[in-house]
Every structure is written in structure tokens, then in C-alpha cells.
Amino acid sequence: MLAPPKKLNKAVMLVLAFILIVLVVCAAALLILYRHNMTIQNPEIEKQPNNIYSRTLRISADYDYDPYTFYDNNSIPSGHDVELIYELADKMGYNVELSLMPWSEALASVKNRSADLVLTAAYSSKESSDLLLSIPLVNDQFVAFGTTPYTQIGELYGKRLAVLEGTGCISAL
């Protein structure tokens, strides 16, 4: 059996090495670009309080409960619950005075009545025994976030949904 020409082997190896280098450089560039986009990404809050009403709702929340409540890169309160409470207060005709703080201080502010309510209460019975808590209308509390409006729960059929592990939302099947 004849050995393949050395020039052909050398040319093939150079082409393969070049392709490998290009792939590595492209992968590195994509990773750098992805990381750069993640670090500069600053979620913009879409809903702001109107604060044109005669009544004010004083609200406290955990300052580090991303994605529900947190300070954005501009030190402005942001998150799903922040926008939700701004919308609800506007619908009810209330100004919003929102203070983000450590969770223990947020609970204390409601207990000592320097705040009217606390957002995103991940609570234990011990620390929330003095609080009047909201009650879900169904067995499990759930929140849906998205860009498509819906009016009935049945419209979510066939959609991909996130649920909390260990709750009744997940079928035991």
C-alpha cells in the first residue's frame, strides 16, 4: 500500500487547524459578547407611579429579591412586583411611596406601622404572625408574566409555564 503524499497531509492539517482556530475565536467572541450584553443589560421599568392623588400608600419591600424587587443600575426600584404595585395603586387612586430595604426591616416597618404593606412576602408563620396576609383565590398562588394578554386561565393551556417546586401546581403523575 502506498503512503499518501506528504504535501497533501500537510495541506489538510493546515486547513483543519485553520478551521479549528476560526471556531475557537468565534466561540470566544460570542461568549465575550454575551457576557458584555448581560452586564450592561438594565431592565427598564415600564410603569411609573402617577403620584397625582390625595392618598398615599407606603410600601416596603426586600431590596435584594430579584426579579421581584431590586435596585437597578441607576439605583431606582425595579422588578415585577414594583411595576405591579405601581399599576394597582394607580388603578385604586393612590400615590406610591416605595422603600426597598433588607427583608427584616421591611417586616418591621409594617409591624411598627411606618409602612402600610410589604411586597413579596416569602414568610414563615413565626415572623408573620402579626401581619394580615393576602389569601389566594385558588389552592396555589401563581403569577403569570408575559407579553400576550389573556382573560381566562384556559388560554394558558399548551403554554410553557414555570411553577414552584413542592406546590400543588405540579401534578403528582
Instruction: Read off the pLDDT of residues 93-132 as tens digits, 9 standing for 90 and up.
Output: 999 999 999 988 988 888 898 998 888 755 555 666 566 5
What does the alpha-carbon distance between residue 141 and residue 167 come to, in Å, rounded to a whole number? Answer: 9
What is the CATH T-level fold of the domain 55-139, as seen in this structure?
Answer: D-Maltodextrin-Binding Protein; domain 2 (3.40.190)
Quickly state the pLDDT bin for 144 (edges 50, 70, 90): low
What is 112-138 written as a DSSP string? TTSSSEESS----TTTTTTS-----SS
Tell me the three state secondary structure of residue 167: coil
Higher pLDDT, 38 or 64: 64
Of 68, 99, 70, the closest CA to residue 84 belongs to 68
pTM for the structure as a whole: 0.51
Burial of 21 (0-12, 13-18, 19+ CB in 10 A): exposed
How many CA within 13 A on the CB side of residue 22? 6
What does the alpha-carbon distance between residue 78 and residue 81 come to, in Å, rounded to a whole number? Answer: 8
Judge whether residue 136 has pLDDT over 60: no
DSSP class of residue 52 equals -
Q: What is the largest CA-CA distance in the chain?
A: 96
Condensed to tens digits (0 to 9), the pLDDT of residues 72-81 reads 888 888 888 8
Q: Where are the domains of the chain?
A: 55-139
Quickly state the pLDDT bin for 137 (edges 50, 70, 90): very low
